[in-house]
Amino acid sequence: MTPWLMAGLLFTPLAWAVLTLLVNFNRGRLISWLGILVQVVVSLGLWAAVAGDGGFHYQLGGWPAPLGIELRVDGLAVTFVLLTALVAAACGWHASIYLDPAKAWHRYFWPLFWFLWAGLNGVWLGGDLFNLYVGLELISLSAVGLVALGGESAALRAAIRYLMAALLGSLAYLLGVALIYGQFGSLSIAGVSRLLGEAGTAPGQTLPLLLMLFGLTLKTALFPMHGWLPPAHGIARSPVSALLSALVVKASFYIAARIWLDLGGYLGSYGLAQLIGGLGAIAVIWGSWRALWQAKLKQVVAYSSVAQIGYLFLLFPLTWGVAEPVSLQAQQGITLQIISHALAKAAMFLAAGNLIMSVGSNRVDALAGVSRFLPFSLFSFGLAGVSLMGLPPSGGFAAKWLLLQSSLASGQWWWLPVLLAGGLLSAAYVFRVYRASFMERAGTDRFFHPSRSLEVIPMILALLSLGLGLVAGPVLSVMVLPFGEGGGQ
């Protein structure tokens, strides 16, 4: 059973990429709906399998690591696989209605979309440093292609900027990998961390870790390397922006986190952890602050991504040299933050797309009077905003709560103001949008109602991110499942 699930996960996206490449947009839409269905089913199946009897290692080609590529299929991985399935399904569905079939180049959305999905699945499951590099490149290039789709000057500009950042990042990462391989002669993360654990081996270098983390944080748009993100996410079509903000940036962070949790203990240092955490903290404040002053709606959302991603980097200080339960608490908090941000941000971008379509302008102040028409999309935007603000009962709140707890427990109280101020600032920019929509102004009749299904999709995502806080317990219990013997929490 599991082999087939793995196959479905790794290969159907690739197959669908090829299929959709051969047909035009409308046929690609039909094919993709089928593929999305398959993917969701498969992801659910694998998630259930792991939740049922624990994670396992999967050897591709039947060759064990270090000779072959070994995938690590554990609770965290399948959690993200499932998340990807949900968000990508929503974005694909939305795009299939949102994008205009008449534009010839939109047909290329589907193959890029499927390659992106394949790359994401590969990264979540990847346990081999070099394989992760290839997966990252798969993701980056298809993401760049999606941003540049349509090839309008501003989009190209954003895409090039994005591509340059991504290339530099992946090279830095690859250099780190090269050094690691040179030292240990192995590419599997688990293998390297095992070697580091053994007494005999010489102490590892810090530089490889630094290089890999630099590359990955650059791809994750950590302050001050975030310059490429807002233009790229702001200018892409809304479904694309949703994919990028919700999933793509998370992929590189996920790798960074895995490396940190496995190797950071040996190769990292308190200073490094604090530095990364500090940059994340600055990103939270700075990103929210910039979001507050953007004139264009999607730029607001894009900058909010910079801020929300900043929270994730608190993982590094909160897991270095702290007690095991505290570290676990922090990991759970970050996982929740990733999930809820993915859902909320996807909802927000899709809703923003609908709003833009409704009022026919991408400026915030053009929303005046929209709330009179009571469009679902505004609600979805608001509900997603609640999660970003970290107000209960959203997943964002649960995440913030766990982070507060672990900062208090680890005695690193200086993260508290960041967590609180970040929430308030995000409230500020979300309410700025509300405010604009509540403004009563004459001549708001030029208002177009997007089709129902376009409005329903972001609503579903927003409700998921809102309700996540209520079911945080079960979700997290799967994530901490150990290998082999399952069940135990």
Partner 1 sequence: MSLASLLPVFALMTSLLAAVIIFTLPERSFRLRTLVNLGAAVIKLVLVGVMIWGIVQGRAYEVAFTMVPGVRFVLRADALSMLFAGLSALLWLLTTIYAVGYLEGSPNRSRFFGFFSLSVASTMGIALAGNLFTFFLFYEMLTLSTYPLVVHRGTPKALRAGRSYIIYTLCGGAVLLLAIAWLHGLVGDLSFRPGGYFAEVEDALRGPLSLIFVLLVAGLGVKAALVPLHGWLPQAMVAPAPVSALLHAVAVVKAGAFGIVRVVLEIYGLDAASDLGLLAGLAGVAAFTIIYGSARALYQVDLKRLLAFSTVSQVSYIILGLCLFGPVGVAGGLVHLVHQGIMKITLFFCAGNYAETLGVHRIDELDGAGERMPATSVAFTLGAFGMIGVPPLAGFTTKWIMGTGALAVGMDWVVVVLVVSSLLNAAYFLPILHRIWFGERQAAWPQERRWGRLETSAWLLWPALITAVLLILAGLLANLPVSPLSWVELIVAREVAL
Partner 2 sequence: MMRLLASALAIAVCLVFAGALAAAVWQIAGTPAPVSLPGLLADNLAASGVEHPVTAVLLNFRSYDTLLEIGVLVIAGIAGISMARTTSLEDPELRTSDSLLYALQRWFVPLMLVLAGYLLWAGSDRPGGAFQAGAVLAASGVMMRLGGIPMPFLRPGLLLRLGLALGFTVFLLVAVASAAGGEAFLAYPKAFTKPLILAIETVLTFSIAMVLLALFVSAPVNQALEPEEGDPG
Partner 3 sequence: MTPSLLYAFAGVLLCSLGLFGFIRLAHLLRKLLAFNLMGSGVFLVMVGLAQRDGEPDPVPQALVLTGIVVAIAATALAVVLIRRYYHLSGQATLAGPAATQHGTAKPVVRAEDRS
One-letter amino acid for residue 431 of the chain: F
101 touches which of partner 2, partner 3, partner 1, none (CB within 5 to 8 A by kind)?
A: none
- In the Cβ-directed half-sphere of 174, how many Cα atoms lie within 13 Å? 12
Report 135-194 residues binding partner 3 (CB under 8 A).
137, 141, 144-145, 148, 151-154, 156-157, 159-161, 163-164, 167-168, 171, 174-175, 177-179, 181-182, 185
DSSP state of 244: I
Tokens 């998370």 label which residue? 250
Decide: is 145 part of the binding site for partner 2 (CB under 8 A).
yes
Q: For residues 47 and 38, what is the distance between their CA atoms, to the nearest angstrom?
A: 14
Which string of b and e fits 400-420 if b means at least 16 CB within 10 Å? bbbbbebbebbebeebeebbe
- Binding test (CB under 8 A) with partner 1, winner from 392, 482, 484, 487: 392
> Which residues between 10 and 69 bind partner 2 (CB under 8 A)?
10-11, 14-15, 17-18, 21-22, 59-63, 66-69
Span of 34-42, 50-58, 219-227, 368-376 interacting with partner 1 by CB under 8 A: 368-376
Within a 10 A sphere around the Cβ of 203, how many other Cβ atoms? Answer: 8
Q: Which of partner 3, partner 1, partner 2, none does residue 431 bind (CB under 5 to 8 Å by kind)? A: partner 1
Q: Whose structure tokens read 């909010």?
A: 304
Closest by Cα among 335, 326, 371, 322 to 481: 335
Q: Does 358 bind partner 1 (CB under 8 A)?
A: no
Beta-bridge partners for 128: 188
Task: Return the one option of partner 3, partner 2, partner 1, none that residue 150 interacts with (CB less than 5 to 8 A, by type).
Answer: partner 2
Is residue 198 near partner 3 by the rule CB under 8 A? Answer: no
Residue 276 in the binding site for partner 3 (CB under 8 A)? no
240 binds partner 2 (CB under 8 A): no
Omega before 66 within 30 of 0, i.e. cis:
yes
Backbone angles phi, psi at 294, to 5 degrees: -80, 140
Cα–Cα dist 324/313, whole Å? 18
Measured between alpha carbons, how far is residue 486 from residues 283, 407, 480 in Å? 38, 30, 10
Residues in contact with partner 3 by CB under 8 A are: 97-98, 100, 102, 130, 133-134, 137, 141, 144-145, 148, 151-154, 156-157, 159-161, 163-164, 167-168, 171, 174-175, 177-179, 181-182, 185, 357-361, 446-448, 450-451, 454
Name the residues that contact partner 1, by CB under 8 A.
Answer: 329, 332, 369, 371-372, 374, 379, 386, 389, 391-393, 398, 400-402, 404-405, 408-409, 416, 420, 423-424, 427, 431, 434-435, 438-440, 469-470, 472-473, 476
